[in-house]
């Protein structure tokens, strides 16, 4: 319906666009300076949840299994999955799912904010995903606690908020989902990383091990795609009609 369009001026839309873009940039900076991960702790946990769910759900989509998701108090996490025999090369796709899945979902969030009914539906589906993930996959106490706290806040916003609050919430969540790729910017350009005391191939290292070209190429490509998705989806979502 035409009445669902956000009734704001062109200047307001431009202001909201730049405000959300600044939030995205500040988030990247804080996540990549000492103790910044703790300044944004709830968003750090949310970023890890987006990232690891991207791995696990991609594994399911290619015919594998998503066993569990562990989120640690440091803000890092691991998704445990398995792939069927003969589909090990799909590991590159699963690795990419943790890096590109959240920006794609975040872009959908941002685009849904153009209409209030779509924004509300997006929040309902996000709440359902949070509950489902805690029931089936999240298996650390800090992970369960923080994810449920985020879910409780979203539920409160759905219950007490109005259309403007729903739209703003979806936009902030969308930005955070896209930016989760940059939570540790140097991670994109590492062949391996120490996660909870264990040395593992990084996601870009996994992609490089299954495909051609070095890990830093995939890191740069994913970083560019993620920012392009953020910029495009913000421009479309906040474009006046």
3-state SS class at 66: strand
CB atoms within 10 A of CB 42: 13
Which residues does 20 contact at the CB level (< 8 Å), separation at least 6? 171, 172, 175, 234, 238
Check if the beta carbon of residue 185 is closer than 8 Å to that of residue 28.
Answer: yes
Cα distance between residue 68 and residue 43, in whole Å: 21
Domain that holds residue 232: 9-237
pLDDT at 229: 92
With respect to residue 43, please indicate whether it lies within any of the assigned structural domains. yes
Check if the beta carbon of residue 98 is closer than 8 Å to that of residue 79.
Answer: yes
With respect to residue 146, please indicate whether it lies within any of the assigned structural domains. yes
With respect to residue 111, please indicate whether it lies within any of the assigned structural domains. yes
pLDDT at 198: 74
Give the gyration radius of the chain's Cα atoms. Answer: 18
pLDDT at 6: 44
C-alpha of 122 from chain center: 14
With respect to residue 25, please indicate whether it lies within any of the assigned structural domains. yes
In 62-200, which residue ranges form alpha helices assigned H by DSSP? Answer: 91-112, 116-136, 141-160, 163-179
- Domain count along the chain: 1
End-to-end CA separation in angstroms for the chain: 13
C-alpha of 18 from chain center: 20
Q: Which helix (H) or strand (E) holds 29?
A: helix 10-31
pLDDT at 13: 65
Cα distance between residue 90 and residue 159, in whole Å: 41
pLDDT at 8: 47
With respect to residue 3, please indicate whether it lies within any of the assigned structural domains. no
With respect to residue 2, please indicate whether it lies within any of the assigned structural domains. no
Name which of 18, 239, 229 is nearest 109 in CA terms.
Answer: 229
73 phi, psi to nearest 5 deg: -60, -25
Q: What is the pLDDT along the chain (241 residues), one digit of tens a residue?
A: 334 444 445 665 677 777 888 888 888 888 888 887 788 899 889 999 999 999 999 999 999 999 999 999 988 899 999 988 777 678 899 999 999 999 999 999 999 998 999 999 999 999 999 999 999 999 999 999 999 999 999 999 999 999 999 999 999 999 989 888 888 778 888 888 777 677 888 899 999 988 888 999 999 999 999 999 988 998 888 775 4
pLDDT at 230: 87
Angle between helices 116-136 and 41-61 (to 10 degrees): 80
201 phi, psi to nearest 5 deg: -65, 135
Cα distance between residue 177 and residue 46, in whole Å: 8
Which residues does 146 contact at the CB level (< 8 Å), separation at least 6? 42, 45, 71
Check if the beta carbon of residue 102 is closer than 8 Å to that of residue 55.
Answer: no
The model's pLDDT over 29-76, given as tens digits with 9 standing for 90+, comes to 888 888 877 888 998 899 999 999 999 999 999 999 999 999 999 888
With respect to residue 81, please indicate whether it lies within any of the assigned structural domains. yes
With respect to residue 4, please indicate whether it lies within any of the assigned structural domains. no
């Amino acid at each position: 319906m035409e009445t669902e369009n956000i009734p704001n001026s062109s200047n307001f839309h431009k202001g909201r666009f730049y405000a959300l873009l600044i939030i995205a940039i500040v988030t990247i900076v804080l996540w990549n300076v000492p103790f910044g991960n703790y300044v944004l702790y709830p968003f750090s946990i949310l970023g890890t949840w987006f990232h690891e769910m991207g791995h696990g759900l991609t594994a399911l989509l290619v015919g594998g299994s998503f066993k569990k998701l562990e989120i640690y108090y440091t803000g890092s996490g691991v998704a445990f999955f398995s792939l069927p025999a003969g589909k090990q090369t799909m590991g590159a796709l699963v690795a990419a799912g943790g890096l590109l899945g959240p920006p794609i979902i975040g872009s959908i969030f941002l685009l849904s904010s153009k209409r209030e009914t779509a924004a509300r539906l997006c929040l309902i589906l996000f709440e359902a995903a949070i509950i489902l993930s805690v029931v089936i996959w999240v298996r650390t106490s800090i992970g369960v606690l923080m994810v449920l706290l985020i879910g409780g806040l979203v539920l409160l916003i759905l219950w007490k908020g109005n259309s403007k609050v729903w739209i703003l919430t979806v936009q902030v969540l969308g930005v955070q989902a896209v930016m989760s790729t940059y939570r540790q910017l140097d991670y994109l350009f590492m062949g391996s990383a120490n996660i909870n005391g264990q040395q593992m191939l990084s996601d870009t290292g996994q992609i490089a091990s299954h495909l051609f070209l070095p890990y830093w190429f995939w890191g740069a490509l994913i970083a560019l795609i993620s920012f392009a998705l953020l910029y495009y989806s913000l421009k479309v979502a906040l474009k006046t009609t």
